[in-house]
Each structure stands twice: as C-alpha cells, then as structure tokens.
Amino acid sequence: MNANHLEKSKILIRYLEQHGRVPKDMATLIINETRVIEFKKRKHIVSPLDMHPNMYFILSGAARGFTREDGEDLTTWITIEGQIVGLTLFSKQFSTAKPQFIETIEPCQVILITNLLVKKLLAEYPEMSMICRKLLWQHYHDAEERNYLIRLNSAVKRLNRMNDTHPQFYHRIPLKYLASYLGMRIETLSRLRSQMLNSSTT
C-alpha cells in the first residue's frame, strides 16, 4: 500500500467517524480492502449494465443520480466531494422501478467500497450497523428535502430553496443538470439567474 492511498483512505475513515466509532482494526480492514478509482467527466459510475450495489466515497468532483423517461434524463440528486453515493438492492424488489444511473458531472476521484466489504464490516463490527443506520437516515433526509423542493409551486421558490440548502451547486453545477434537478426548463433557470445577477448589481 502506498502513502497516497493511505492518506486518501484516512479521509474516508474520518467521514465514517462523523457517524459512529471506527475501531482500529475496522479502520485497517477498510484501508486494506478499498481502492481509489478515477472517472473522467460524464462517465457512468453505475449504469443498468453494471448494477452492483457498491458504494463510492467521493474524494473530489461532483456526480448526479438520474433516471430516463421517454428518452429524457431526469436528475434525481446531485452531490459533491465528501459524500458517499451508490445503489441499493431495494429498487430491484419493485417491477415499476426505473433503471438508475450515477454519472460524473466533473472528473471524480472516488474510493470504491464493495458490497462484499460492507457485508463483512456489518458481520464483524457492530459499530458498522450504527454507521449504516445514520448514513441511511442522512440519505432519507436528503430524499425528503428533494421531494419538498420539487413540490414547491414556483420555479423561483425552488431555486431559492436550493440556494439555501446547497448554495455550492449554484455556480458549480452545469445549467442543464440544475434545471433537471429543480424540475424546470433550462430557459427558465437561465432567466432566473440573470434576474438574480441583475438585482445583485443594482
């Protein structure tokens, strides 16, 4: 193991420690059985052709989750470095579930956490169960926020809500992905941004 991998793995360990205790031997197992992968911009981390329920900790970059409806991408979530993304097996239980994609918005460097490793950690360390519960709650909260945002009855309210909860998205995420995430046309989002820019300079 090289020093670079060790340092990057420690970033993941510190992230997990925000959600629960990570014993030393558990940390060692994570360091030894994870690896760093790099993805170029607009590459699939996960697609319906590769539906492994692995997890990916984003070290750098931005990614989005999306489905397709009548040939159109529908962005369901956006995230940046310092977060875990991945698929679950739950969608496979429902025949109406849409195929899920995870795609990089920017070049991404991630730590691959295989489903096999997750199962091993859950079997050997009670602490991992607590961490997973807290991560699940966090993702549930994020899904609730997204559900609330998309139900707001005006484009202005949705944009303002996103700026309140995820201000880093505004200038960083390309317009077409933001528009899809916010449930509005690109032209509408472009007009609103121009209005906000004009109001801030007057």
Residue 119 lies in a domain: yes
Q: Assign residue 152 a region (left: φ > 0; alpha: ψ between -120 and 50; beta: otherwise).
A: beta
Residue 19 lies in a domain: yes
pLDDT at 88: 56
Query: Can you give the length of the chain in residues?
Result: 202
Rg (CA), the chain: 18
pLDDT at 56: 95
Range of the domain at 34: 3-125
Residue 115 lies in a domain: yes
Residue 23 lies in a domain: yes
Residue 50 lies in a domain: yes
Tally of domains in the chain: 1
What is the chain's pLDDT, residue by residue, as a tens digit (202 residues)? 688 888 999 999 999 999 999 999 999 999 999 999 999 999 999 877 766 679 999 999 999 999 988 888 999 999 999 999 986 544 444 444 567 889 999 999 999 999 999 999 999 999 999 999 999 999 899 999 999 999 999 999 999 999 999 999 999 999 999 999 999 999 999 999 999 887 766 5
Residue 58 lies in a domain: yes
Neighbouring C-alpha atoms within 13 Å toward the C-beta of 12: 28
Dump pLDDT digits (tens) for 96-149: 456 788 999 999 999 999 999 999 999 999 999 999 999 999 989 999 999 999
CA dist 181 and 78 (Å) reads 8
Could you tell me the pTM of the whole model? 0.89
Residue 170 lies in a domain: no
CATH number at residue 15: 2.60.120.10
Residue 192 lies in a domain: no
